[in-house]
Structure 1
Amino acid sequence: MAFSSSRGSGGGYQPLADINVTPLVDVMLVLLIVFMITAPMLATGVKVNLPQAKAAQPLNPKEPVVVIVTKEGKLNLNADEIVSEQLVAAIQAKIEGDMNHVIHVRGDKDASYGDVIAIMDLLASNGMTHIALLSDPHAKADAAKAAKLQAPPASAPNTAPATGGQP
């Protein structure tokens, strides 16, 4: 019984052209650990005791521009009531040509969605594209508390009249 050799005609071994990924994985894991350890160290700042200056003036932060849409559809610019035709000119006077100034839009929860969108469209069509919609972060918690207070307990019998009126 004879076996044929598939080594070729050279009689010696041919070079193996496969890539060994084990050393690559080992190096990558070591680098990952090094970066995981050094990254938090880079994020911390250096504590310095800053000197005091008596002549230094604090920077005046720009007053935010807030457009308020009431539930009746009326507009307020900060605390002043304004009509939509004068809104763009008044905002441009407040931001002094800084088109990157963020304009806050506050819409009443009962305001028409179309009114809020119309104001945002008016601002965007006049080059004021940095618009932030403001909301009340406590409103959800307050609404949940109010709903809990209005709902009758599950074990209590329903004492409302059958006509659907209030008790």
Structure 2
Amino acid sequence: MDDKPFETMNVIPFVDIMLVLLTIVLVTSSFIVSGRIPVNLPEASKNIAQADTASVIELGQSGAIYFNGESVTLEGLKANLQPLGQETSFVIRADRDVALQHFIDVVDLLKQMSFQKVAVQTKNRT
């Protein structure tokens, strides 16, 4: 047998592995969803995942309403919802300190317009 001493190490396979791992990290990090409007979410025992295709309605601490990142009034929200189909899903992100009446007004509007797929986003209780 002809045993040669181990003089060099081929690093190309290691570079390939690192590039694959980097690609995986970059792709999965793009799925992390963070809201554009600063909302201090209420806590719940179980966090429900947000659907990727859901329209987002956010309620700020002062009661300001945002539809997909744009500030609207309750009447403006109704106008934005009218062209949407009944199968549209919504995620409501309400600040934990928002007045309950503001939240109920938005939910009542969705109910009046016969939208059935509505979820409330929370954060996990620690």
Tell me the CA shift for residue 126 of structure 1: 1.3
CA RMSD of aligned residues (A): 1.9
Q: How does 1:1-167 map to 2 (within 5 A)?
A: 63-93=53-83, 95=84, 98-137=85-124, 140-141=125-126
Question: How many residue pairs were aligned?
Answer: 76
The percent of aligned pairs where both chains have the same amino acid is 20
Normalised to the residue count of structure 1, the TM-score between the two structures is 0.42
CA contact (8 A) 1:64 1:102 kept: yes
CA contact (8 A) 1:75 1:83 kept: yes
Q: Which residues of structure 1 form unaligned runs of 5+?
A: 1-60, 142-167
Name the structure where helix makes up a greater proportion of residues.
1
Give the number of the structure whose alpha-carbon radius of gyration is greater: 1
Q: CA deviation at 1:92?
A: 3.4
Structure 2: runs of 5 or more not aligned:
1-50
Q: Which has the higher contact order (CA 8 A, sep 6+)?
A: 2
Richer in strand (by share): 2
Alpha-carbon deviations, 1:106-140, whole Å to 9, x = none? Answer: 11011111211111001111111221111122xx2
